[in-house]
Structure 1
Amino acid sequence: MPVDSDKNSPDKNSPDGALDELAALSHPGSLLSPTGEIVAPYDLEVTGAPASGFRPLSTAPGILHANTAAFAADYAAHRTVHVINGMGVTLGDSIIGLTALFAIRKRHPSIDITLYRPARAPRYVQRLYELAAPMIGTVRDLPATLDSLAHDDPKIDMGNHLFWPAFAAWPMIDFFLWALGMSAADIPAAEKRNAWLAGLPLPRRPETHDDYVLFCPSASTPVRSIPAPMRARLVERLWERFALPVKGFGPVDHPRYTDVTPLSPDTADFLAWVKHARYLMTSDTAALHIAAGFDVPATAFFTTIAADLRARDYVHCHALNVALPGLQGIHASARTADLAALERAYERLLADKTRLFREDDRL
């Protein structure tokens, strides 16, 4: 599914196909510097480095880039594959992208996967790759020289996937499998539930730790988060339903709630809190993806993206679409009008006491 957008096209005034500043940062793919280095647009953006003069990496010989031309990867014919600029700079995207890599590894256990990452990605996201690397292969920071990647090895560009049209239109796991040259239809739903997370070295649950349900109300942007005025009411609903203490991330004024943020200094700790929960309520898709990997039942709220695009394969998830007409598909917003609409939508949701849980969601 190629991109049809002038802003993502090489500068027509540039004889070497170089991108201008804006096009480089929003280009749906990785970049190639004038000196032959593969660069993540994200790294240029967060460092404020000049972004003009770079070419799309996909124009280099031997680069596989599904957004330009879909392909079917012949993994059986190779011992090494280079996955460039995968799998994004958020925790949720990274979990799903790694699930796609594990699908490859299951079918081709001898293949060596070398994953090249944006060096400036948030530390808590990079930590996930450190935990997963022993099971996946090799994780390296960008930039890397194009010449350092063996000529005959598959080189798959996954860069800046947020700007690929298919990313907003398909279930995320299907998108990542397609971008890696795999057929999503050939992968069973059970392999799309992030079960590889169970193999990570995580903190053990202390024997003295009581059972709890977990509340994760904050997403990556306010318009996808649970409004602050609704949080205590939802904690009360959790207590009424399960009669268990409610742990969570961020302050909530409720006598049955404990903020465990200080007890979760590392990504491994966050994963462990989700793993050991009896139930999860969340608007944070990263927490939901983790819960799916550990078979933790969950209620998940979706606002500007359809639930099926993120939770289709999660059999233990009660996914709720919080209707926000006119805001579908936006990735971020903190506008006053949008947040007011969000609060009204949650008011309508909470007015129906039958919607928050499935009948069989009882511990």
Structure 2
Amino acid sequence: MTILDEVSALTNAGSLLSRDGEIVASYDLEVSDVAAEGYRALSTVQEIKNANVAPFEVDYSRLTRVHVINGMGVTLGDSIIGLTALAAIKRRHPRISFVIYRPSRAPAYVRQLYELAAPIFGAVVDLPVDVDSLPDDELRVDLGNHLFWPNFSSMPMVDFFLWALGIPPDDVGPDHKSNDWLKRVNLPALSTEWASKEYALLCPTASTPVRSIPNSFRAAAVNRLWEKFHLPVLGFGKVDHQHYTDISSLSVNTAAFLVWVKNARFLMTSDTAAVHIAAGFDVPTVAFFTTIPPELRVRDYAACTAVNLPLPELQGIQASGRAGDLEIVDRAYQKLIASNWAL
């Protein structure tokens, strides 16, 4: 079996298998001090499905338990949409339960999402695990390191996850692709003064700066929200505006963040987890896109208005904090202000 070099291991389109027969997430190696040496691709185990290596379809009506290996990424947005694909399967076949094997070093706020989702979907297990511990007579699907799968950059994300799970995306209607499983999550009530008040919400910060709303636009964004709704504007991060309140200290975990979005009268954001949460709770939203075509992220969100900033030189960039890239993004938002853009 081919042993991957360190670069190939970290960018492998799938999970890894150690010399000791353990399934390992590349992410866990990347963020640790452990060298990514001595690993081979889990796809060398032919009984484990990997659609990037060999596309497949599955008749889920015949199954009761499915093992999802290294799903659904280490960001909040990817995880929400990946779980939506599982929800679409479970909607058709309620008796199915999933065992979701997760990178153990994923950020705490992402881990919290899976803890909230577990009662709906099944069990959540930390990697690594012994490959032989997964039953031979149950479906095992590898979704590891999906950022490096070519189809991830070319398909709407929910369609990508459905395809990777062996479901033709066109077999699932748009009403089952909008994250409404979030309504079934057991969430706390708001326990602050805002529990009985309406507010607009600004969520400007994405997982990478190139997709975030720049600081130079945030006061203008708050002003647009105030002019449109005449409601106080809450948000995450400092903004100099008399009608704005920073609630960062009141959003202490993922459950709290979900609740803040759920209860908003309106959301303004970019290509962030917040846009996917809002869709799940039918919150009207405007979302700005810089490097990813909106149809790959919000195609099925009826309550979302996408604003696509034409930045061809940045198209397809998954992450960047480079000064030159951020200057391009900033100029695009400044042009938006100059155009007297309004909600």
What range describes the TM-score normalised by the shorter chain of this pair?
over 0.9
CA distance in 2, matches of 1:160, 1:53: 18
1:299 alignment partner in structure 2: 286
Alignment of 1:1-363 (within 5 A): 16-206=1-191, 208-209=193-194, 210-354=197-341, 356-357=342-343
Question: How far off is 1:351 after superposition?
Answer: 2.2
CA distance in 1, matches of 2:192, 2:144: 43
Q: What number of residue pairs does the alignment pair up?
A: 341
Question: How far off is 1:109 after superposition?
Answer: 1.0
Question: How far off is 1:323 after superposition?
Answer: 1.7
Instruction: Answer yes or no: is the 8 Å Cα contact 2:237–2:248 preserved in 1.
Output: yes
Instruction: Answer yes or no: is the 8 Å Cα contact 2:290–2:311 preserved in 1.
Output: yes
Which whole-Å deviations, capped at 9, do the CAs of 1:271-305 have from their partners, x for residues lacking one? 00000000000014200000000000001000010
CA distance in 1, matches of 2:219, 2:155: 34
Amino acid at match of 1:320: V
TM-score by length of 2: 0.97
CA distance in 1, matches of 2:235, 2:51: 39
Q: Secondary structure at the match of 2:297?
A: helix
Instruction: Answer yes or no: is the 8 Å Cα contact 2:15–2:143 preserved in 1.
Output: yes
Amino acid at match of 1:86: G
Question: How far off is 1:77 after superposition?
Answer: 2.0
CA distance in 2, matches of 1:123, 1:309: 26
CA distance in 2, matches of 1:112, 1:327: 40
Question: How far off is 1:335 after superposition?
Answer: 1.5
Instruction: Answer yes or no: is the 8 Å Cα contact 1:216–1:284 preserved in 2.
Output: no
Amino acid at match of 1:39: V
Instruction: Answer yes or no: is the 8 Å Cα contact 1:217–1:284 preserved in 2.
Output: no
Amino acid at match of 2:171: D
Which whole-Å deviations, capped at 9, do the CAs of 1:291-328 have from their partners, x for residues lacking one? 00000000100001011100101111110111222110
Which whole-Å deviations, capped at 9, do the CAs of 1:202-259 have from their partners, x for residues lacking one? 1213595211000011111111111111111111111011100000001111110000
CA distance in 2, matches of 1:290, 1:236: 23
Amino acid at match of 2:332: A
Q: Give the root-mean-square deviation of aligned CA atoms.
A: 1.1
CA distance in 2, matches of 1:207, 1:49: 43
CA distance in 2, matches of 1:271, 1:288: 11
Amino acid at match of 1:53: G
Please list every run of 5 or more consecutive structure 2 residues that lacks an aligned counterpart in the other structure: none
Please list every run of 5 or more consecutive structure 1 residues that lacks an aligned counterpart in the other structure: 1-15, 358-363
TM-score by length of 1: 0.92
Is the alpha carbon distance of 1:92 and 1:257 closer, same or farther for their aligned partners in structure 2, counting shifts above 3 Å?
A: same
Amino acid at match of 1:114: V
